[in-house]
Amino acid sequence: MTPISLEAMAAMVPDGALLALPPDNSLPSVALAKALIRRGARNLRLLGVPVAGFATDILIGAGCVAEVETSAVSLGEAGFAPRFTAAVKAGQIRMRDATCPAIHTMLQASEKGVPFMPLRGLLGSDILKHRPDWKVIPNPFAENGEDPIVLLPAKQPDFAMFHAVMADSKGNVWLGRKRECATIAHASKRTLVTVERVVEGDFLMDERLAPGAISATYVDAVAVAERGAHPVALLDEYGADPAYVSEYARMAKTEEGFAQWLDREVFTPKAMAAE
């Protein structure tokens, strides 16, 4: 397995692609999001599994996104996601609201290769009312009454992208206990992973590492991006950088402030070298 450059990885993602991203507590690749902005990606459709955060907000602000499907977009303690909020208000993006387990379930259906899966709850929610692609049927196994239940279609993203701690010589990647990322990889057509480092060996030969690994079967490309989750925490490797997120939240309140932030943190060669 030969790692590719971050910019080469961003070039693999065509405009209009459906990208599945994990949330800010589960290995998002902020480095790849920044590289997609530098590449000038357009009309991306983002699937926040099951919610979205920092990476989604900067992609929206940079004009890379046409549609967001997720259950919430937020910067956590730093508050509302400013570019997302502004884009919804201005009608610049299509928002398809979901609820967390529905997103997991649609991916689990894809993982199994079945056309749909049922999910409890949701009945009576306006989320369901605004999802013509979700259907309600009577539970065919119910012994008494109708027992209405929601069916969700399988969802197959074009790409899963996340940031793992390490890859090995075989192209397996290791993500510790964040194994929900494996579901995203299993369900997606292709998987792009940035890592802190590449190590010799084969995680699947190590009984302790194998349960937290995604087999190279699913991994299409690996790029090294040190501190590639920053400002988000990465397992026990490094903590979050709340001051960086707060500053972003403040600057990104206006389009001008966001443009300044983008220039400084994404486009200047210094910022690129720091990644």
Partner 1 sequence: MSMMKPEERLAVAIARLILDPKAPPARHVAVGAASPIPAAACFLVQKLGYPIRLSLLSRRTGNPFTEGTRELFDLTGQGRIDLFFLGGGQIDGQANLNLVGTGDWPGMGVRFPGSFGSAFMYMMVPRVILFREEHSPRVFVPKVDNISAPGVSPPGVFRRGHAQALVTGKCVFRFHPDRARFSLESLHPGETVESIRAATGFDFDVEGNIPTTPDATEQELALLRGPVCDEMLETYPEFCARVFNRKAAA
Q: Which residues bind partner 1 (CB under 8 A)?
A: 22-23, 25-26, 50-51, 70-74, 76-77, 80-81, 84-85, 88-89, 95, 97-102, 104, 108, 119-128, 130, 145-149, 177-181, 183, 233, 236, 239, 242
Nearer residue to partner 1 within complex by CB, 110 or 221:
110
229 closest CA partner among 245, 213, 214, 215: 245
Q: How many other CB atoms sit within 10 Å of the CB of residue 268?
A: 12
Nearer residue to partner 1 within complex by CB, 70 or 194:
70
> Computed from CA positions of residues 177, 208, 216, 155, in that sequence, does the dihedral angle turn out positive or negative?
negative
Query: Least distance from C-beta 166 to partner 1, angstroms?
Result: 18
Nearer residue to partner 1 within complex by CB, 41 or 93:
93
Nearer residue to partner 1 within complex by CB, 101 or 267:
101
Nearer residue to partner 1 within complex by CB, 126 or 143:
126
Query: Least distance from C-beta 43 to partner 1, angstroms?
Result: 19
Query: Least distance from C-beta 69 to partner 1, angstroms?
Result: 11
Query: Least distance from C-beta 14 to partner 1, angstroms?
Result: 27
Query: Least distance from C-beta 132 to partner 1, angstroms?
Result: 13
- For residue 28, what is the DSSP state? -
Nearer residue to partner 1 within complex by CB, 35 or 110:
110
Query: Least distance from C-beta 107 to partner 1, angstroms?
Result: 9
CA distance 17 to 9: 14
Tokens of 252: 């990104």
Query: Least distance from C-beta 273 to partner 1, angstroms?
Result: 26
Helix axes 82-89, 54-61, angle to 10 degrees: 50
Query: Least distance from C-beta 212 to partner 1, angstroms?
Result: 8
The HSE-up count of residue 153 (CA atoms within 13 Å, CB side) is: 8
Nearer residue to partner 1 within complex by CB, 22 or 231:
22
Cα-Cα end-to-end distance for the chain: 22
Nearer residue to partner 1 within complex by CB, 32 or 86:
86
CA distance 40 to 1: 28
Cα 28 to Cα 48, 62, 98, 170, 199: the distances in Å are: 10, 18, 19, 22, 21
Tokens of 98: 């979901």
Going through the chain in order, the beta strands assigned E by DSSP cover 18-21, 44-48, 65-70, 94-97, 116-119, 135-138, 148-153, 159-168, 173-174, 190-199, 213-214, 221-224
